[in-house]
Structure 1
Amino acid sequence: MSQLPILFAFLLLAFIPCSTSLTSTFNFSSFTKAQNVTYSGDAFVNSEGNLDLTSTAINKNSTSSAGWAVYDNTIILYDAGAGFSADFQSNFSFEIFPLGANCKGDGLAFFMAPENWTHNAENNGYGLGIFNKSSVANNSQMIAVEFDTYANYFDPSGNHMGIDIGSFNSSTTVNWEPSMENSLNATALIQYNSITGNLSTHLMDRDRSLQWSTSLDVNLRTVLPGKVVMGFSASTGLCSEGHRVKSWSFSVTVPDRTPSPAPNWHPAPNWQPSLT
């Protein structure tokens, strides 16, 4: 039997447009060591199924602590050759809490970075474990949403949420409620719309009585490579606090960019255009 009909069939299928969206999603209602997440530094899963990113033990040094939790599978944000860009949504509940120290810091972050990214924390807590002060070039292809609890000289306050684009100096920030200065128990929602280029982040306290949000327009193709890794990081410097992620869900979807068909308009019988 000739192979030409089979070859022709495969070629024909290759040119049939796909009508379904490319979607990837997961939902971790709690954390286990068996999930597709790699923990490093001081990060660990506690007995309650929560992810602690920095040391929380009273008998262990909780200053100069850093930890990371990185999802094992790479995420495809865009493919220039195939001509698509993806939307994504990351939703997680977390807690930042005091450890009885005289001061608190530094915070935690959700981040995306190139596939070959490796962590390199600095002992003073700078950069929340992802941005490096001594090698600024390594920061350029990264984005993060930070929940910062320590006021550096470039920060608006010691309690703020910010969007970082290739730099630890946030492009946009919003302060959260002063009454939550010592402890933050909240849910965060991060969304990116690849059509409008809008990256937004929303924060809501546990009682759903207080909400904060900020956003900016950014073309992630100009910042990130097409394939990225993502996860959480946190660090402490001379001060200390606990950084705990309780649950995490994520989805990435390629939106349908097929243009709407033109209206199927037909003139009425005997219709004539007006000449006046």
Structure 2
Amino acid sequence: MSWTKPMSSLLCTILSLVLILEAFTTSHGEFVYHGFSGVNLTLDGNAMVTPDGILELTNDTINLGHAFYPTPQNFRKFSNSTVQSFSLSFVFAILSVHDDISADGMAFFVAPSKNLSNTWAQYIGLLNSRNDGNRSNHMFAVELDTTQNDEFKDIDNNHVGININSLISLQAHHTGYYDDKSGFFNNLTLISGKAMQVWADYDGESAQINVTLAHLGAPKSVRPLLSSSYNFSDVLRDQSYIGFSATTGAISTRHCVLGWSFAMNSPAPAIDISRLPKLPRLGPKPRSKTLDITLPIATAIFVLAAGTVVVLLVRRRLRYMELQEDWEVDFGPHRFSFKDMYHATEGFNKNNLLGVGGFGKVYKGVLQKSKVPVAIKRVSHESTQGMKKFIAEVVSIGKLRHRNLVPLLGYCRRKGQLLLVYDYMSNGSLNKYLYPEDGKPSLNWAERFHVIKGVAFGLLYLHEKWEKVVIHRDIKPSNVLLDSEMNGKLGDFGLSRLYDHGTDPQTTHMVGTMGYLAPELVRTGRASTSTDVFAFGIFLLEVTCGQRPIKKDSQGNQHSLFDWVLQFLHNSSLIEAMDSRLQADFNIDEVCLVLKLGLLCSHPFTNARPSMQQVMEYLEGDTPIPEISSRHFSFTMQALMQSKGFESPDMLCPQFTSIGTFSELSGGR
């Protein structure tokens, strides 16, 4: 009997420890927030908690925000075990200054750290162009997407998605819910300005994730909006952070969270909607009764001065008068008012001038409502050519969305004024880095190669990946812009043409920049994807060599960069054509690959040039580039042009003095 009590006490202690441990593993991290006043959250970017207790991820001034639960959650009971079941719910609202357009969306996420991407717009602050799709991201997200991005295969501009390590959704569905009684699907609009509730439940045993949506106050539907089988044990780290992220573009949008609950191994606690903070009112305030009394009196006073006021208003309105035609009705991008453009650029002040091109001037501006910096192109149209260029740019890129194309945010038309509004690229054009002013740095090889691949990726999208074929027709370093992360983005689509896949573009008016024009374009004036590839080839040589396509020697004679590089190939010293400023900081295989590819793309015969799909395969190392040899120079460009009936080829195509025949095209590098 002497050992019975101690043994019993020990058993009780062990049992208590087991129960405590079990309670810890099943309820650790469980919480419910009705508003966020006084709640300990980690916020960055634009995220803030308003005095009313609303978690605002974005507002009208800055365009990105994150909110994290301050400590990581244990998603596994033990190291190397499977991810546990978890459940969450949150109430959100998206408030846009416009009724029918918003940017860009928000998401709930699970991530291994708090160091998320600061890339805004379509990446929703989760990832960026370099890590999107990487398994090493260890990220799960439920996205509420209000912008359709073709590069992420978005189904529309109002959808919910389940995302694993990428902005391309594992599964997506138009926003709404299934009615339990009728079984019918009911649409919801994310940017309606109304509060909605989301539930997300992961079952660790069946590896099933369900996402359900409903308007605030409606019960959770039995049938989820999204349901997908995916083993999160292959994705989530043992300890991961949970939270929200949101970004906006040029459209002022507030992404708000009103309540949030979370639990591990049990249903998320119910959110009491009666305890949630109230959303700010949208639209004008209701008119007071006092106004009903004073309005007749005030009206009588104003009538006396009506004549003067009308004259002033008419003058002011004429100042900002705009045009709108039938073709604009179904156009995708947002239409800005001329007044917004005028104030954004401080009256098109010369101090805001970024550059001048053949068709107009580009100004830096700041949109007054959102405080977002933009680039505004003011298109010249002394003749009908300016209008044609404007419409070409609007139509061709209005709905294009790709991370290596400068996005068109909107446009404006006014009598005598044609304006295009783009994302502002903080690092300017590639041109100024290839030919920097005294004391300013150039780009190293890694940066140049990254830009080259970005431009190639964007051009591949234009030629083969979008619903129509878009011919850019003016590929050159000054039309490649660099964002804050030095990603190359192809811009200036004013010379572009688009047509259906498999059809003849029938483009017979020659435009472009001398030095980048393919021989057949000079002869016929007809642009094609192959003429774009030719210009891209010259672009590759220019970026690698740091020299312009055409240059004059001390005697004033013109020489082409193509011929110059070809001589190095002929002498088996191709690497010597590289920009001398790169010094030893380069990859010799990559440099030689790009120089050979530049020569191949700018081959005088169209059937010898690769497609952009092949170009990407060469750059990514998926396919070895054909071996290029220059043993024979059996013809010159002059002979080639004369054979086509031209008397003065040098005037038509001054970028070539002689062209070598590539006599061998075979496999291997």
TM-score of Structure 1 vs Structure 2, range by shorter chain: 0.7 to 0.9
Q: Return the letter of the residue paired with 1:227.
A: Q
**CA–CA distance in structure 1, aligned partners of residues 67 and 43 of structure 2:** 5
Measure how far apart 1:102 and its partner are.
7.5
Matched, 1:52 2:56: yes
Of residues 79, 94, 97, the one that matches 1:96 is: 94
Q: Residue 32 of structure 2 aligns with which residue?
A: 27
Is 1:162 equivalent to 2:152 in the alignment? Answer: no
Alignment partner of 1:126: what SS?
Answer: helix
Verify the 8 A CA contact 1:139 1:167 in the aligned structure 2: no
Partner residue, 2:567:
none
Which secondary structure state, in structure 1, belongs to the residue aligned with residue 124 of structure 2?
helix
Please say if residues 143 and 161 of structure 2, whose CA atoms lie closer than 8 Å, have aligned partners that are also in contact: yes
User: 1:223, 1:234 → 2: CA distance?
Assistant: 22
Q: Deviations over 1:136-155 (max 9, x none)?
A: 34863101000000111110
Shift of 1:89: 0.9
CA distance in 2, matches of 1:128, 1:77: 24
Alpha carbons of 1:101 and 1:246: their partners in 2 closer, same or farther (altered >3 Å)? Answer: same
Which structure 2 residues correspond to residues 86-125 of structure 1 after superposition, within 5 A? 86-100=84-98, 103-114=101-112, 116-123=113-120, 125=121
Cα shift readout 1:60-97 (whole Å, capped 9, x = no counterpart): x35xx000110011101114548464211111111012
Q: Structure 2: which amino acid aligns with 1:110? A: F
More displaced, 217-226 or 71-80? 71-80
- Give the match's secondary structure for 2:119: coil
Distance 1:133 1:186, change over 3 A: same
RMSD between aligned residues:
3.0
Q: Which moved more, 1:182-191 or 1:220-229?
A: 182-191
Q: Deviations over 1:152-176 (max 9, x none)?
A: 1110000000000111100011102
Instruction: Tell me, yes or no, if structure 1 residue 147 matches structure 2 residue 144.
Output: yes
Instruction: Work out the CA distance in 2 between the residues paired with 1:179 and 1:45.
Output: 26
Could you say if the C-alpha distance between residues 30 and 207 of structure 1 is closer, same or farther in structure 2, counting changes exceeding 3 Å?
A: closer
Give the distance between the partners of 2:88 and 2:66, measured in 1 at CA: 17
Q: Which of 126, 130, 149 lines up with 1:130 in the alignment? A: 126
SS at match of 1:78: coil
- List per-residue Cα deviations over 1:36-76 (Å, max 9, x = no partner): 311110011112110010014xxxx35xx000110011101
Say if 2:208 is the partner of 1:198: yes
Q: Secondary structure at the match of 2:111?
A: strand
Q: Which runs of 5+ in 2 are unaligned?
A: 1-5, 177-186, 268-669
Normalised by the length of structure 2, the TM-score is: 0.33
In structure 2, distance between residues paired with 1:209 and 1:79: 32
Q: Which residue identity does 1:242 align to in structure 2?
A: R
Distance 1:46 1:158, change over 3 A: same
Letter in 1 for 2:89: N
- Residues 210, 228 of structure 1: alpha-carbon distance in 2 compared, 3 angstrom cutoff: closer
| Conserved 8 A contact 1:101-1:239 | no
- What is the SS of the residue equivalent to 1:27? strand
How far 1:121 sits from its partner (Å)?
Answer: 2.0
- Cα 1:209–1:229, aligned 2, differ >3 Å: closer, same or farther? closer
Q: What SS does the corresponding residue of 2:86 show, helix, strand or coil? A: strand
Give the letter for the 2:69 counterpart: Y
Counterparts of 2:85 and 2:220, CA distance in 1: 27
1:180 aligns with 2:189: yes
TM-score (norm 1): 0.76
Q: Deviations over 1:12-31 (max 9, x none)?
A: 949x9669452121111010
The letter of the residue matching 1:45 is V
Q: Which amino acid aligns with 2:204?
A: S
Alignment counterpart, residue 250 of structure 1, candidates 243, 247, 262? 262
Q: Distance in 2 between matches of 1:181 and 1:85?
A: 31
Tell me how far 1:35 sits from its aligned partner.
2.0
Query: 1:227–1:110: structure 2 CA closer, same or farther, 3 Å change rule?
Result: same
Helix, strand or coil for the counterpart of 2:155? coil
Contact 1:86 1:254 (C-alpha < 8 Å) held by counterparts: no
Deviation at 1:208, TM superposition (A): 2.3
Once the two structures are overlaid, the 10-residue window that deviates more, 233-242 or 148-157, is 233-242
Go from structure 1 to structure 2 and tell me whether the alpha carbon gap of 1:139 and 1:168 turns closer, same or farther (over 3 Å shift). Answer: farther
1:228 aligns to 2:240 (yes or no): yes
Is the contact between residue 141 and residue 166 of structure 1 (CA under 8 Å) also seen in structure 2? yes
Partners of 2:96 and 2:39 lie apart in 1 by: 28
**Aligned residue in 2 for 1:218:** 230
Q: State how far apart, in whole Å, the 2-side matches of 1:220 and 1:239 are.
A: 35
Amino acid at match of 2:50: N
Q: What is the rounded CA distance, in whole Å, between the counterparts of 1:102 and 1:238 in structure 2?
A: 14
Matched letter for residue 197 of structure 1: A
Alignment of 1:258-269 (within 5 A): none
Quick one: distance in 1 between partners of 2:108 and 2:42? 15
Share of identical aligned residues, percent?
A: 26
AA aligned to 1:143 is F
Aligned residue pair count: 238
Closer, same or farther: CA 139–146 of 1 in aligned 2, 3 Å: farther
- Paired residue type of 2:147: Y
Q: CA deviation at 1:206?
A: 2.2
Once residues 40 and 169 of structure 2 are traced to their aligned partners in structure 1, the CA distance between those partners, rounded to angstroms, is 30
Aligned counterpart in structure 1 of residue 252 of structure 2, from 236, 240, 247? 240
Name the structure 2 match of 1:41. 45
Answer whether contact 2:110 2:240 (CA < 8 A) is retained.
yes
Contact 2:108 2:244 in 1 (8 A): yes
Alpha-carbon distance in structure 1 between the residues aligned to 2:219 and 2:86: 26
Check the 8 A contact 1:70/1:232 in 2, yes or no: yes
1:224, CA displacement in angstroms? 1.1
Q: Cα–Cα, structure 1 residues 108 and 73, in superposed 2: closer, same or farther, change >3 Å?
A: same
> For 1:109 and 1:93, how far apart are their aligned partners in 2?
12
Indicate the SS of the match to 2:225.
Answer: strand
Change (3 A) 1:187 1:181: closer
Q: For 1:181 and 1:89, how far apart are their aligned partners in 2?
A: 22
The code of the aligned residue for 2:137 comes to S
Deviations 1:110-153 (A, max 9, x none): 00011x34022224x12111121233348631010000001111
Q: Structure 1 stretches of 5 or more lacking a match?
A: 256-276
Structure number having the greater strand percentage? 1
